[in-house]
Amino acid sequence: MPAEEFVAGWISGALGLVLGHPFDTVKVRLQTQTTYRGIVDCMVKTYRHESLLGFFKGMSFPIASIAVVNSVLFGVYSNALLVLTATSHQERRAQPPSYTHVFIAGCTGGFLQAYCLAPFDLIKVRLQNQTEPRAKPGSRPPQYRGPVHCAASIFQAEGPRGLFRGAWALTLRDTPTLGIYFVTYEWLCRQFTLDGQTPSSGTVLVAGGFAGITSWVAATPLDVIKSRMQMAGLKQRAYGGLLDCMVSSARQEGLGVFFRGLTINSARAFPVNAVTFLSYEHLLLSWG
Ligand SMILES: C[N+](C)(C)CCCC[C@H](N)C(=O)O
């Protein structure tokens, strides 16, 4: 099984992540808390209350973990294509796979990465939603002291299954939308590249950026539900399940609730995925 794809996926995931984390914090807060009037208000309040550091809450952990998850995504995607089309990454420019194969491989990668992502994403969301300013003497400490403490507290209170809260919503969110992700990327690359040629860096950046936006647009409704299920019982009311969360969120807040965080998600998705695909393609090219 070719391993370079996993390594390239790891490095490119880490690069994309740092760039996108501040957007991600604003997104999670807008989706799960009702105290902000919009993106700018959330940014201003976060900055005033918690300084620039507030935007990077919960990042150290994803940088290690999400990078691993990205490695699973790209590694499984590429190896699934190898199984489906019997072509390696290098051969695929000359013999491009069909969009159906790209979609199936993307969904497979999406499904498997969702399973690895679930506990990491849960911890990230819980830490991002702690709005207390950094420890001041005399102030009440936040519930979780850091990622390890957060994981340990959830494990102690709810057992291993607690760490997979919201995993079902996450899998539903990621399986089809990562199929869309790779199809969009491939389609855009092919539009701007002569047959058999390698796409230019500019093309890869634009195709990667739009692949990110398209898949996030499709993923946002379930992303809201996922984040809420992960917070259920803490700052959020408890839900009877995924459907209950959908119905009661829509009843209380209207259908618009399913698009919360869409603007910020798209603004984040472009740079993150442009950089992810560019570094991924470059690494693989330089390793020959
Ligand atoms: C499928 N869905 C849109 C949910 C995620 C796409 C993931 C791509 C990238 N790791 C990012 O964080 O933007």
Ligand 1: residue of 272, 275, 278, 280 to mutate (most ligand atoms within 8 A of CB) is 272
Q: What is the mean pLDDT of residues 156-167?
A: 92
Taking the CA of residue 173 as reference, the ligand 1 atom at the shortest distance is 4
pLDDT in tens, 124-134: 889 888 877 65
| pLDDT interval class at 31 (50, 70, 90) | confident
Taking the centre of ligand 1 as the mean of its atom positions, its distance from the CA of residue 53, in whole angstroms, is: 23
Query: Quick one: pLDDT at residue 134?
Result: 59
pLDDT in tens, 247-287: 999 999 999 999 998 998 898 899 999 999 999 999 988 88
Ligand 1 binding pocket (C-beta < 6 A) is 70, 173-174, 177-178, 181, 212, 215-216, 219, 269, 272-273
Query: Quick one: pLDDT at residue 137?
Result: 65
Query: Quick one: pLDDT at residue 136?
Result: 63
Distance CA 257, CA 260 (A): 5
Q: What ipTM describes this predicted complex?
A: 0.97
Q: Strand pairing partners for 236?
A: 232
Taking the centre of ligand 1 as the mean of its atom positions, its distance from the CA of residue 138, in whole angstroms, is: 40
Taking the CA of residue 177 as reference, the ligand 1 atom at the shortest distance is 1
Of 125, 137, 121, 141, nearest in space to 68 by CA: 121
The residue whose C-alpha atom lies closest to atom 13 belonging to ligand 1 is 269
Query: Quick one: pLDDT at residue 219?
Result: 96
Phi, psi of 88 (to 5 degrees): -85, 170
Taking the centre of ligand 1 as the mean of its atom positions, its distance from the CA of residue 269, in whole angstroms, is: 7
* pTM (two decimals): 0.87
Query: Quick one: pLDDT at residue 135?
Result: 57
**Burial classification of residue 246, based on how many CB atoms lie within 10 Å of its CB (0-12 exposed, 13-18 middle, 19 or more buried):** buried
Taking the centre of ligand 1 as the mean of its atom positions, its distance from the CA of residue 268, in whole angstroms, is: 10
The residue whose C-alpha atom lies closest to atom 9 belonging to ligand 1 is 273
Compute CA 194 distance to the chain's CA centroid, rounded to the nearest angstrom: 31
Taking the centre of ligand 1 as the mean of its atom positions, its distance from the CA of residue 255, in whole angstroms, is: 23
